[in-house]
Amino acid sequence: MTCDGGRDNGIVYHWVMLGPSGSVIARAIVENPECPRVKIDGITSRMDVRSGPTADFPVLTCEKSIPGGARSASVGGRSLNLPGDRPGRIIIIGDTGCRIRGSEAQACNDPAAWPFEQIADTAAALDPDLVIHVGDYFYREDPCPEGNSGCAGSPFGDNWGGWQADFLAPADSLLRKAPWVLLRGNHETCSRGGEGWFTFLDPYPLPEECQEFTDPYVIDIGGVDLLILDSSSAQDNSAPAGLVEAYAGQIDTLFESAGDNSWFLVHHPLWGIGEFAGSLFKINQTLQAATGDTLAPGINLVLGGHIHLFEILSFEGGRPPQMLVGNSGTSPDEAVTIPLSGEEIGGGVVDRGITEDEFGFVVMDRTDGGWFLSLRNMSGGEILACSLEANIITCD
């Protein structure tokens, strides 16, 4: 017999996430044969089964929609942090998993080499009202190479062990702390971490099989509309006609919903610049073709990840800035040493480019005129301070 508040409800992880139209969803992963009870404004029911157990995911994933306006909720006696109408402090993280692919192996056992847990704990201690993960959770695709002590013993594969090690366990403190907005990255495509993505993190009802595309959606966080696109299959260096057509249709729908202060959230950068072997590269070609390099009026910021750096680009001629947060755990990409001012990308010209290759995350605090934006290192120390007002980012 299980009961609220008991220790035998089998909950391993639980969190609250925001979904289409701002719906509020409680999820729990349990090792019990049945889902735990959920109490919403004093009324108790049972969470619904989302999936499992299966051979690869020998756990139950449970969920429950929380009605808008609910004042309190708990799952198995653990109280949930519900979203307010107007979050004041947002944490942004991205590209968090520990890369093991072929002979390429990050030292997952060394918290200095893979600091995602420290970043999550540091961010949780800052009491955020909302967490945005811009995608790429699952990186342990292959076994740790023989004789490599840095990652020895790591679980791997799109399964419970892989997902627990790469995301759920290190993120636990932050998962409990505040509601999450979760973007799907290219590491969560059907050929990579797609099963874990749909089992645990996708905000829609569980589909019968892995889907290449999921519908875009909008979340109103009070004065800002988050326009969210699943770009997981977009190609950095090519623009295949079928993909461009599919994303263009989704982007048209999404941009029709743009309010007069909107942020476009997409894992792949629409206009991202990195450096490799002494030369700059510029991505994402699929998304540039699908948008025609044009945003809806009212979009004041493009927010993504994918390049394993922190990057802010502002542009000449009124194009809104883009911020990438791809430095929250996965091995950093090469530092950008070539000045970015004057570089052309997607028909626009970079006015100012700032990049950082240190591990970290971003804190955004709402101000009277917009947002204060602080890039933090993994201990919480400030690396860079900026402000965002309408579509202007100004950094110290």
Contact 179, 82 (CB under 8 A): yes
Asked if 95 and 234 touch (Cβ cutoff 8 Å), the reply is: no
- How far is Cα 307 from Cα 331, in angstroms, rounded to an integer? 10
Q: Does 177 bind Fe ion (CB under 5 A)?
A: no
Report the residue number, 129 or 188, with the smaller CB distance to Fe ion: 188
Q: What binding mask, one character per residue, do residues 136-155 give for Fe ion by CB under 5 A, x or -?
A: x-------------------
**Which token pair is 110?**
């060394």
When asked if residue 304 is in the footprint of Fe ion (CB under 5 A), the reply is: no
Choices 8-16, 128-136, 252-260, 289-297 (CB under 5 A): range interacting with Fe ion:
128-136
DSSP per-residue codes, 238-298: ---HHHHHHHHHHHHHHHHT--SSEEEEESS-SSEEEEETTEEEEE-HHHHHHHTT-PPTT
The answer to the question of residue 328 lying near Fe ion (CB under 5 A) is no
Which one of the spans 26-34, 130-138, 276-284, 317-325 is the region binding Fe ion (CB under 5 A)?
A: 130-138
Binding span for Fe ion by CB under 5 A among 27-35, 167-175, 271-279, 300-308: 300-308
| Size, binding site for Fe ion by CB under 5 A | 4
Contact between 306 and Fe ion (CB under 5 A)? Answer: yes
Is the peptide bond prior to 284 cis by the omega test (within 30 degrees of 0)?
Answer: yes
Per-residue exposure over 319-346, b if at least 16 CB sit within 10 Å of its own CB, e if not: bbbbbbbbbbbbbbbeebeeebeebebb
The reply on whether position 76 binds Fe ion by CB under 5 A is: no
For residue 100, count other CB atoms closer than 10 A to its CB. 26
Stretch that binds Fe ion, among 177-185, 207-215, 216-224, 365-373 (CB under 5 A): 177-185
* By the rule CB under 5 A, 230 interacts with Fe ion: no
Query: Which of the residues 237 through 296 are near Fe ion (CB under 5 A)?
Result: none
The answer to whether 232 contacts Fe ion (rule: CB under 5 A) is no
Q: How many CA atoms lie within 13 A of 107 on its CB side?
A: 7
Least Å from the CB of residue 272 to Fe ion: 10
Q: Name which position in 122, 186, 328, 355 contacts Fe ion (CB under 5 A).
A: 186
Selection from 200, 190, 129, 198 nearest residue 167 by Cα: 200
Give the interface with Fe ion as residue ranges (CB under 5 A). Answer: 136, 185-186, 306
